[in-house]
Amino acid sequence: MVSRFHVPDLGIGVGFRRPHFAEVVEGRPAMDWFEVIAENFMVDGGSPLYFLDRLRAQYPVVPHGVGLSLGGAHDADHLARLKRLADRLDAPWVSDHLCFTGTADVRVHDLLPLPYTRAMADHVVERVKRVQDTLGRPFAIENASSYLTYKASVMPEWEFLADVVERADCGVLLDVNNVYVSAMNHGFDAHTYLDAVPADRVVQIHLAGHSVKAKYRLDTHDGPVCDEVWALYQRVIHRIGSVSTLIEWDDQLPSFARLQEEAALARRLRAEALA
Amino acid sequence: MNPTWQAEMVAMIRGAKPLSGDLFAGSATLTGEEQIAIYAEQYRLRLWDAFAEEVPGYLALAGDAGEAVVWAFLDAHPPGHWSLGRIADGFADWLASHGAPVEHSEMARLDHAVMSGFLGADGQTPRPEQLADALTGSLRLALQPHVQLLALTTSVQRTRSVWSLGGAQPAVVAGTFLVAVYRVDRAMRHVELEPGAFAALGVVARGGTLADAVTAAVAAEPERAAGRLSAWFASFVERGLVQIAP
């Protein structure tokens, strides 16, 4: 395995989702690794932890958060529970999104985009440093898909991301589908974005399907990866080298065998790009 | 930007303020107002799905009218916790204080007990022979974290059981139903308890001693308790309702 920002290349993985819990832990299907939505397992007991412990006994597992709200307020309880989960899994890294999810009082449970300003970059850098120090293990931030931009922004998203990860000294979870969705929604060139991401900080790649609406693209994770995103993925791999890759498929979830097919396609295209 | 911009944006998304595109740049195809409207639409879809998962019994009982009630609750009590699993916290009490039929608030209370129990921790269940130690006070008992005791005035637990098994929903009847909701392995169960057993478990839940629990059981059923105590406590252990106090 190749070390990248002190984390291993785990190969090609998929998300561990409830309809597949029993099939995966009992059948031990072929898969390099799994990602779990951290908040779904930051619980005291019951079915989620039962299956999680059995999954971890058989595969590498990486927790991926949706609730840190790095552009918003710190939540001590959330971070403490995230650390407990990461320790339980002995996770090689932990990730969450470059976004905010609400205010201290109201959580909208969505990945809301940030204005790309110096002040916001400073805020996120401090939040990420605190998270990484608390977790005591590598932390990566993911670019979220977005449907709006702010008048107040003074730089493009890719500059903001590069600035934050360099100053916070953290990794990048590069979601290629999110770059494509945002590029289509906001009219920028996805290649410009992907070429600006610090290659040596990318610890993981996300791939997913999305929906095409009348006037915008929506990041729905409800289907296969589209051809345009596969092409961008190969370009990224060619540029940055071998990196752990994960297929996200959350809605209209297919059989696990279908997920294995999608993972096999990613494995083949990754190998082609590396050749 | 105005430091309150996040609060303003959240208020727009959840419908507490009219949508405005003032903060947003817009795109070639969408105005700023249309951009924030996408998040507002997703908010309602996401919250509805999450809430429906938390209160399936209530929604089955309330029928089509339930959706408006749920949104009235969410408008008054937007989610404040990082876990969507906490979205229905307080819903049963809110129903009870807003004139909902008692069977609706009690079904919501039962839903909440089931859902929170599903994710509760497992404590160390005592062995039957350890109950003697508990009686002498050398061992303290507590309720298992996944157990909740409900004193119901309607038979919603029977309705929910039949409905969750796919049967036609039986009518709710009035009465006194003393229920323990608990987990066995990874499945939630409930059991209707006799008054003495319910009283004893209530004392355990409040941190009382086993001797106090026995006293409460006798007070609840003076005529029957003496002959039933052993069976009650054996069933608490057998069903995994109690743990050795941590």
Structural domain that includes position A72: 12-274
pLDDT digits (tens, 9 = 90+) for A5-53: 779 999 999 999 999 999 999 999 999 999 999 999 999 999 999 999 9
DSSP-assigned states of every residue in chain B: --TTHHHHHHHHHTTSS----TTB---SS--HHHHHHHHHHHHHHHHHHHHHHH-HHHHHHHGGGHHHHHHHHHHHS---SS-GGGTTTTHHHHHHHTT--HHHHHHHHHHHHHHHHHT----PPPPGGGHHHHHHTSS-EEE-TT-EEEEEEE-HHHHHHHHHTT---PPP-EEEEEEEEEEETTEEEEEE--HHHHHHHHHHHTT--HHHHHHHHHHH-TTTHHHHHHHHHHHHHHHT-EEE--
Whether the pLDDT of residue A146 is over 80: the answer is yes
**Residues of CATH 3.90.930 domain(s) within chain B?**
121-246
A7 closest CA partner among A186, A163, A204, A175: A204
Q: What are phi and psi of A113, to 5 degrees?
A: -70, 160
Q: How far lies B71's CA from each of A106, B95, B209, in Å? A: 15, 12, 43
* Separation of alpha carbons A13 and B184, rounded Å: 32
Asked if A202 and A240 touch (Cβ cutoff 8 Å), the reply is: yes
A198 closest CA partner among A231, A222, A169, A223: A169
pLDDT of residue B3: 66
Whether the pLDDT of residue A1 is over 70: the answer is no
Residue A1 included in any domain: no
pLDDT of residue B130: 85
pLDDT digits (tens, 9 = 90+) for A195-225: 999 999 999 999 999 999 999 999 999 999 9
pLDDT of residue B1: 60
DSSP-assigned states of every residue in B173-220: -EEEEEEEEEEETTEEEEEE--HHHHHHHHHHHTT--HHHHHHHHHHH
- Mean pLDDT, range A183-194, rounded to an integer: 98
pLDDT of residue B199: 98
Task: Give me chain A's average pLDDT, please.
Answer: 96
pLDDT digits (tens, 9 = 90+) for A103-119: 999 999 999 999 999 99
Q: Regarding predicted confidence, which is higher, B1 or A262?
A: A262
pLDDT of residue A3: 46
Tokens 């993972």 found at: A263
* Separation of alpha carbons B28 and A190, rounded Å: 17
Tokens 């730089």 found at: A155
* Separation of alpha carbons A275 and B30, rounded Å: 41
pLDDT of residue A257: 98
- Mean pLDDT, range A257-268, rounded to an integer: 98
Residue A85 DSSP label: H
Under an 8 A CB cutoff, do B43 and A42 touch? no
A142: three-class secondary structure by DSSP: strand
Kindly compute the dihedral angle of the four CA atoms of residues B224, B225, B230, B232, in this order, to the nearest 10 degrees: 90
pLDDT of residue B2: 59
A76 Cβ contact partners less than 8 Å away, ≥ 6 residues apart: none
Low-confidence ranges of chain B (pLDDT < 70): 1-3
pLDDT of residue A4: 62
Under an 8 A CB cutoff, do A149 and B29 touch? no
Contacts of A39 in chain B (CB under 8 A): 82-84
Residue A167 DSSP label: H
Whether the pLDDT of residue A2 is over 80: the answer is no
CB-nearest to A115 from B1, B14, B28 is B1
pLDDT of residue B138: 76
Under an 8 A CB cutoff, do A148 and B36 touch? yes
Encoded tokens for A91: 């996770």
Residue A4 DSSP label: B
How many structural domains comprise chain A? Answer: 1
The distance of A270 to chain B (nearest Cα, Å) reads 33
Contacts of B17 in chain A (CB under 8 A): none
Residue A5 included in any domain: no
Mutate to test the interface with B, among A18, A127, A148, A253 (most CBs of B within 10 A): A148
* Separation of alpha carbons B43 and B13, rounded Å: 7
Give first-to-last CA distance, chain B, whole Å.
50
B239 closest CA partner among B194, B161, B184: B184
A 205-234 residues inside an 8 A Cβ radius of B: 215-216, 218
Q: Which residues of B touch A (CB under 8 A)?
A: 1, 5-7, 9-10, 13-14, 23-25, 27-30, 32, 34-36, 38-39, 42-43, 46-47, 50, 78-85, 117-122, 145-146, 183, 186
Query: Considering the domain B121-246, what is its CATH architecture?
Result: Alpha-Beta Complex (3.90)
DSSP-assigned states of every residue in A99-136: SEEE-SS-EEEEEE-----HHHHHHHHHHHHHHHHHHT
Residue A3 included in any domain: no
Whichever domain contains A101, its CATH number is 3.20.20.150
